[in-house]
Amino acid sequence: MLKTLELPEVEYITSSEGKPKSVIVSIEDWKRITETLKIMSSKELMQSIRRAKRQS
């Protein structure tokens, strides 16, 4: 299982009694996810991204 996680965008979902409980992702995917969340939670960065999109 851990060897497979080295592939991009591979995830494992653990469950208990048929309900999802956790997700296992590679460290690289985790870094991408947390970086995206940081950017999306910053009003200033999101405004900058929107301005750049409008100008392109």
What Å distances lie between residue 35 and 16, 20, 40, 54, CA to CA? 29, 24, 9, 23
Structure tokens at 3: 């060897």
The pLDDT assigned to 32 comes to 94
Closest CA to 4 of 19, 32, 24, 21: 24
Structure tokens at 39: 């950017």
Q: What is the pTM of this model?
A: 0.67
Structure tokens at 31: 């870094």
Q: Could you list the pLDDT tens digit for every one of the 56 residues in the chain?
A: 778 877 778 899 999 999 999 999 999 999 999 999 999 999 999 999 999 999 98
Q: Is 32 exposed, middle or buried (0-12, 13-18, 19+ CB in 10 A)?
A: middle
